[in-house]
Homo-oligomer: A and B are copies of this chain.
Amino acid sequence: MPWALILGGSSGLGLASAKKLAAHGYNICIVHRDRKSRLDDLEVAFSEMIAHGVRVINFNKDALQKENRKKIIDQLPKQRVKVLIHSVAKGSLKPMSGPGTKALSKEDIDITLHAMGSSWYEWTRALIDADCFSKNARNIAFTSEGNSKAWPGYGAVSAAKATLEALMRNMAVELAPLDITTNCIQAGTTETPSFLMIPGSDTLAKMAKKRNPFKRLTRPEDVANAVYLLCSDEAKWINGTVLTVDGGESIR
């Protein structure tokens, strides 16, 4: 059975993807960062996946630490990781001007670019070096309309999404000879835990709902469905692109 490794897989788009893939016969490895209080809920989710007859392992560790990465990859079988999903959301939401540490600093930008951008490449390369990827593998990360838009306070995240997509395109070209396709999914506005932490997210959600041609928000399951499609054999020629999955929200 193929494995799916999901970074940031304990909530939102990552968890929904894990569930969908587990239901279709993928073993699941989730790397996440959660407080004790959430672990009971997570156990329920893991049990549901296991009920599909697949293996589920999880690491409650910071996916951005090199040592953790090494330890986790050591436990993955060789040539069996069919899917890597990057769903790490951790970024600064500071404005670009203002007094002292209230404004976005180089360090804030660096942390955000790493967490939501270049860490994807680090994991990819580490999996390649450890010979973990299977044939016809899929490398997927989540982006958002913020890649090309500018909202106050969103500068660092916007830059990270842009970085993520640039790295995606380059991995798509350079890793094709290794039989790996690389793509991003641009999800519409989804009420994930990360989204709800953005100041004014309720207003954003209301506007997005109104703007969406289907008059509802994007759900994690909508995006998980697209992940599933990209993992199918029929998707092997989709490489180096951003697949928008938002019901049409972004074109209005």
Which 6 pairs, one residue from A and one from B, show the smallest C-beta to C-beta distance? Answer: A176-B213, A240-B248, A155-B170, A225-B234, A222-B237, A162-B162
Report yes or no: B176 in contact with A155, Cβ–Cβ below 8 A. Answer: no
Which residue, of A167, A237, A239, A240, has the highest number of chain B Cβ atoms within 10 A? A237
Interface residue stretch chosen among A74-82, A117-125, A191-199: A117-125
Q: Which listed residue (B110, B175, B188) contacts A97, Cβ 8 A?
A: B175
A128 interface contact, C-beta 8 A: yes
Q: Which listed residue (B128, B151, B172, B247) contacts A239, Cβ 8 A?
A: B247
**Min CB gap A102→B, angstroms:** 12
Number of copies: 4
A225 and B165 CA atoms in complex are apart in Å by 24
Report yes or no: A171 in contact with B96, Cβ–Cβ below 8 A. Answer: yes
**Contact residues in B for A243 (Cβ distance below 8 Å):** 238, 241, 243
User: Range of interface residues on chain A?
Assistant: 35 or more
Which residue, of A150, A218, A223, has the highest number of chain B Cβ atoms within 10 A? A150
Report yes or no: B173 in contact with A152, Cβ–Cβ below 8 A. Answer: yes
**Contact residues in B for A97 (Cβ distance below 8 Å):** 125, 128, 174-175, 178
**Min CB gap A61→B, angstroms:** 18
**Contact residues in B for A226 (Cβ distance below 8 Å):** 234-235, 237-238
A148 interface contact, C-beta 8 A: yes
- In the complex, 15 of the A-B residue pairs with CB atoms within 8 angstroms, ordered by the A residue number, are A109-B118, A110-B114, A150-B172, A150-B252, A158-B167, A158-B169, A169-B251, A173-B251, A174-B213, A176-B248, A213-B239, A218-B237, A225-B234, A226-B234, A239-B246
